[in-house]
Amino acid sequence: MSSDPFSVRFQVRIYEVDPQLHLNGAVYVQYADHSRFQCLQAAGVSVEGMLRDGFGPVNLETVIRYYKELRAGDEVDVTCDWKWGAGKTYRVEHAFRRSDGEVAAEVNYVSGLIDLEARRLLTDPAHVWLSRATRPDLLRLPATEAVSAD
């Protein structure tokens, strides 16, 4: 398993800045969401397949911490690091690292997988992700039980 979390590079576009000329707060969440989706694709998980099967990811809590400004034209690498424990939820942590190496922000989620018909969280989300990932290491899951479901 790689020690470095999955990462996606973004360039801040002028239409993403607020009146103070720094990255709008909502865009941090969009970058984090895109990073997580790219990570899932790289791990071989089909979110569309999950939705067809009647369940999908849900964010239960979002926390943004700002440290340094990001401005139009800045490049930022957004990591996606999965943290697993027992129970119905898991964490996904995103660090926003500027090109000079400084962390500009963090966006962290408490997430789960929801049964779309019952409207309840699944009891073992790690197992579901593991059963669908061809590269479970990107989700910080052990590869021993990986089986492609698509």
- The range of the structural domain enclosing residue 132 comes to 6-141
Q: Is 70 among the domain residues?
A: yes
Residue 146, domain member (yes or no): no
Q: Is the pLDDT of residue 146 over 80?
A: no
- Is residue 18 a part of any domain in this protein? yes
Instruction: Provide the pLDDT confidence category of residue 64 given band limits of 50, 70 and 90.
Output: very high
Number of folded domains that form the chain:
1
Q: What is the mean pLDDT of the chain?
A: 93
Confidence of residue 71 (pLDDT cuts 50, 70, 90): very high
Pairing verdict, β 55-66 and 6-11: unpaired
User: How confident is the model over 9-25, as a mean pLDDT?
Assistant: 96
Closest CA relative to residue 41, chosen from 123, 139, 131, 124: 139
pLDDT one-digit tens code per residue, 90-139: 999 999 999 999 999 999 999 999 999 999 999 999 999 999 999 999 99
Check whether 8 has a pLDDT greater than 90. yes
CATH number at residue 83: 3.10.129.10
Q: Are 37 and 48 in contact (CB under 8 A)?
A: no
In the structure encoding, which two tokens stand for residue 2, read together?
């790689």
Task: Tell me which residue of 78, 83, 129, 85 sits closest to 107, measured CA to CA.
Answer: 78
Q: Report the number of secondary-structure helices (H) and strands (E) in the chain.
A: 3, 6
Rounded CA separation 92/70 (Å): 22
Residue 149 within any structural domain of the chain: no
